[in-house]
Amino acid sequence: MVISRGKEIFESSYSWIFLKVRGHSSACRIHAGYGEGPHLKECDVHDAKEDYFSQLPDDVLSSILAHLTVVDAARTSILSRRWKYRFASMPTLQFRCLDMFGIKPYNHTCCPYYQQKFLKGVNQLLQLYTGRKVTHVKMTFCFGRQFSSEFDQWMHSISRLGVERLYLSFDCGINYPIHNSNPIRNSDKLFKFSLELLSQASSLKHLLLYHCVVQSSIGVRLKSLRTLTLLGVLLESDQLERIFSSCLNLNLLELCYCKLPYKLWISGTVTSVVFFACGGLEEIDLWAANLHSFECNFFSKVRFYFSFVPMLENVMIDLKGATAMPYIFGDFARDLPAQVKSLTVKASQSQIEYFPIKTQMFRNLRELTLVLVFTHDFDIVNISPILGVCPLLQYLDVVQSRTTRDGSGSDIRPPLSPTYHTELKEVTFGGFRGSGAEIEFAVYILRSALVLERMFLSPCFTCYSGSGTWEKTRGVSLDERKRNSIEQELHGQAISRNAVVIIQ
Residue range 386-428, pLDDT digits in tens = 888 899 999 999 988 764 444 444 456 677 777 899 999 999 9
Angle between helices 436-448 and 480-490 (to 10 degrees): 40
Share of the chain above pLDDT 70, in %: 72
More confident residue, 157 or 40: 157
What number of other Cβ atoms are within 10 A of residue 143's Cβ? 21
More confident residue, 225 or 148: 225
In this prediction, residues 268-294 reach a mean pLDDT of 94
- Res. 74 pLDDT band, cuts 50 70 90: low
More confident residue, 366 or 386: 366
- pLDDT number for residue 429: 93
- pLDDT number for residue 39: 44
| Residue 468 backbone zone (phi > 0: left; psi -120 to 50: alpha; other: beta) | left
CA distances from 385 to 117, 294, 344 (A): 65, 25, 17
Q: Please determine, for residue 433, whether its predicted confidence score (pLDDT) is greater than 60.
A: yes
User: Long-range contacts made by residues 186-194, C-beta under 8 angstroms, separation at least 24?
Assistant: 187/213, 187/234, 187/259, 189/144, 189/145, 190/144, 190/234, 191/143, 191/144, 191/145, 191/148, 191/151, 192/145, 192/148, 193/168
Q: What are phi and psi of 140, to 5 degrees?
A: -125, 115
- pLDDT number for residue 471: 63
- pLDDT number for residue 303: 94
Lowest mean pLDDT among 99-113, 172-186, 322-336: 172-186
Q: Please determine, for residue 249, whether its predicted confidence score (pLDDT) is greater than 90.
A: yes
- pLDDT number for residue 101: 57
- Res. 492 pLDDT band, cuts 50 70 90: very high
Could you give the CA distance from residue 466 to residue 276 in angstroms, rounded to a whole number?
8
Task: Please choose, from the candidates 38, 223, 37, the residue with its C-alpha nearest in 3D space to the C-alpha of residue 29.
Answer: 38
Average pLDDT, the chain: 78
In this prediction, residues 81-88 reach a mean pLDDT of 66
- pLDDT number for residue 472: 62
- Res. 12 pLDDT band, cuts 50 70 90: very low
Q: Please determine, for residue 34, whether its predicted confidence score (pLDDT) is greater than 60.
A: no
Could you give the CA distance from residue 361 to residue 342 in angstroms, rounded to a whole number?
14
Which pLDDT tens digit goes with each residue over 452-461?
Answer: 999 999 888 6
Q: Please determine, for residue 45, whether its predicted confidence score (pLDDT) is greater than 60.
A: no
More confident residue, 148 or 297: 297
Q: Please determine, for residue 38, whether its predicted confidence score (pLDDT) is greater than 50.
A: no
In this prediction, residues 310-327 reach a mean pLDDT of 92
The residues pairing with 96 across neighbouring beta strands, listed in sequence order, are: 140
More confident residue, 30 or 293: 293
- pLDDT number for residue 9: 34
- Res. 14 pLDDT band, cuts 50 70 90: very low
Q: What are phi and psi of 459, to 5 degrees?
A: -70, -20
Length of the chain in residues, anyone? Answer: 504
Task: Please choose, from the candidates 483, 341, 359, 502, the residue with its C-alpha nearest in 3D space to the C-alpha of residue 426.
Answer: 502
Contact (Cβ atoms closer than 8 angstroms) between residue 207 and residue 228: yes
- pLDDT number for residue 230: 95
Q: What are phi and psi of 293, to 5 degrees?
A: -135, 130
pTM of the predicted model, to two decimals?
Answer: 0.79
In this prediction, residues 356-371 reach a mean pLDDT of 86
- Res. 190 pLDDT band, cuts 50 70 90: confident
More confident residue, 314 or 30: 314
Q: Please determine, for residue 285, whether its predicted confidence score (pLDDT) is greater than 90.
A: yes
- pLDDT number for residue 228: 96
- Res. 186 pLDDT band, cuts 50 70 90: low
- Res. 375 pLDDT band, cuts 50 70 90: low
